[in-house]
Amino acid sequence: MEHAAALADPGTADHSGRAVPFFSQASSFAELWPAIATNVTTVLHRGKFSHGPLVAELERALAERLGAAHVVGVNSGTDALVLLLRAAGLEPGDEVVVPAFSFVASASSVVLAGGRPAFADIDPLTYGLDPGAAAAAVTPATRMVMPVHLFCQLADLAGIAEVAQRHALTVVEDSAEAIGMRWDGVHAGLHGAGGVLSFFPTKTLGALGDAGAVITNDDRVAETAAALRHHGRFGRTLDHFPGISNETALPGVNSKMDDLQAAVLLAKLGRLDADIARRAELAAAYTERLRGCPGVRRLPTAVEREVDTDPVFYVYLVEVEHRDALVEYLAAHGVGTETYYPVPLHLQPCFADLGHRRGEFPHAEAACARAVALPLYPDLLESQVDRVCALVRAFYGGAAS
């Protein structure tokens, strides 16, 4: 769905030569190619293609960059969530409080790990889980709470920590989009039992295919996730499971990371700070050009916190009137957009058995109806931002309501 469209060929979007694809990394990739080629050659020479030395090197480099005790490389951000939930001790039937507005994997991971999502509404300013709503969703079966950090800022981690403490819940963070974001100096994903990273190509640090990681400061969570990604193999006597010394101690999955993806990610990691700075510049350019535009109801709003929080623009998301008509208009003019997220999770058919109704989580539902993501990636030119904003203004100028 959004992932496939995000990779539309930038060359075919229109005939004017001025198309603005939703995502492209063609020019930065050309710059990075020598570093990537060197790393790929290393993989070929070492002959370890999965779960090999470059994956280990990437895990070390990321752990240092994030300030995490452990980074466990896996096949995708989604797998990372499932393994994190299992490693953090989710048991069959346990409930996890999840925001009703997120990528579907935030909640489907809970089901795949044997649990049950308990949906709660978001704070409409940050799109993050609202602590008061999270507290109201707690039942005797609730064991965990999953704040999701979306687009450009963190969910209210202090508020969530308070709820977690009051109800004895484990915090697991869906920090798939949040690389580079810190709360009071601590990187996203490291405020509870653990978090995840996604290296899907469009993410702030993207591979050339699927990859992800579990990040944690908890030795036991890291060791269990590392075993689960590799068929449940610990491969030695287990400190944390006394008496268990079998090689395969848990039913695991095959979610090893490819060394070829690690080769790409290691090359791109050196540019991460520059990429984040470029994203911030482009976001500022959008905000300047769209401020006061009729039809645009909300631009990204930085929420004041008592502690330092570093925003990182993974996505430039606006809320607009006549969203679907705007999306069509932009597409007709060669501008790619994405609808993050089109359906609130409590109304997704795959969660129909939970018995939710429209109207239950009004902030999540409003965001799904009005939000649209504009193109934002380091290769984007300021002239392209100009073009997108001019088209948005033309749309609302012409379609006065």
Ligand X SMILES: *Cc1c(COP(=O)(O)O)cnc(C)c1O
Q: How far is the CB of 314 from ligand X (least distance, A)?
A: 8
Q: How far is the CB of 1 from ligand X (least distance, A)?
A: 11
Where does this chain touch ligand X (CB under 6 A) — which range of 76-84, 93-101, 238-246, 389-397? 76-84
Angle between helix axes 105-112 and 77-87 (nearest 10 degrees) is 50
Q: How far is the CB of 203 from ligand X (least distance, A)?
A: 6
Closer residue to ligand X in complex, CB, 177/365: 177
Please report whether residue 72 would count as binding ligand X according to CB under 6 A.
no
User: x/- contact string, 214-233, with ligand X (CB under 6 A)?
Assistant: --------------------
Residue 344 CB coordination number (10 Å):
27
Q: How far is the CB of 75 from ligand X (least distance, A)?
A: 8
255-289: buried (b, 16+ CB within 10 Å) or exposed (e) per residue?
bbbbbbbbbbbbbbbebbeebbebbeebbebbeeb
Peptide bond into 377 cis (omega under 30): no
Q: How far is the CB of 370 from ligand X (least distance, A)?
A: 19
Q: How far is the CB of 74 from ligand X (least distance, A)?
A: 9
Single out the residue of 22, 151, 183, 200 in contact with ligand X (rule: CB under 6 A).
200
Q: How far is the CB of 14 from ligand X (least distance, A)?
A: 28
364/356 Cα distance (integer angstroms): 13
Closer residue to ligand X in complex, CB, 104/238: 104
Q: Got the DSSP string for 198-254? A: E--TTSSS--SS--EEEEES-HHHHHHHHHHTBTTB--S--SSSTT---SB-S---B
Instruction: Tell me the sheet residues that pair with 318.
Output: 372
Please report whether residue 13 would count as binding ligand X according to CB under 6 A.
no
Q: How far is the CB of 326 from ligand X (least distance, A)?
A: 22
Closer residue to ligand X in complex, CB, 78/384: 78
Closer residue to ligand X in complex, CB, 24/109: 109
Residue 357 CB coordination number (10 Å):
8
Please report whether residue 77 would count as binding ligand X according to CB under 6 A.
yes
Where does this chain touch ligand X (CB under 6 A) — which range of 22-30, 101-109, 384-392, 393-401? 101-109
Closer residue to ligand X in complex, CB, 78/217: 78
Of the candidates 31, 73, 328, 88, the residue with the CA atom closest to the CA atom of residue 218: 88
Pairing of strands 371-374, 316-320: antiparallel
Contacting ligand X within 279-298 (CB under 6 A):
none
Phi-psi region of 196 (alpha: psi -120 to 50; beta: other; left: phi over 0): beta
SS3 282: helix
Closer residue to ligand X in complex, CB, 134/285: 134
Single out the residue of 23, 103, 286, 316 in contact with ligand X (rule: CB under 6 A).
103
22/382 Cα distance (integer angstroms): 14
Pairing of strands 182-183, 95-99: unpaired
Q: In degrees to the nearest 10, what's the CA dihedral of 74, 79, 82, 86?
A: -30
Single out the residue of 25, 39, 102, 384 in contact with ligand X (rule: CB under 6 A).
102
Please report whether residue 148 would count as binding ligand X according to CB under 6 A.
yes
Do 60 and 206 form a contact (C-beta atoms < 8 A)? no
Residue nearest to ligand X (CB): 77
Please report whether residue 195 would count as binding ligand X according to CB under 6 A.
no
User: x/- contact string, 162-181, with ligand X (CB under 6 A)?
Assistant: ------------x-xx----
Single out the residue of 39, 76, 142, 309 in contact with ligand X (rule: CB under 6 A).
76
Helices (H), 47-76: 53-66
Binding site for ligand X (CB under 6 A): 76-78, 102-103, 105-106, 148, 174, 176-177, 198, 200, 210, 212
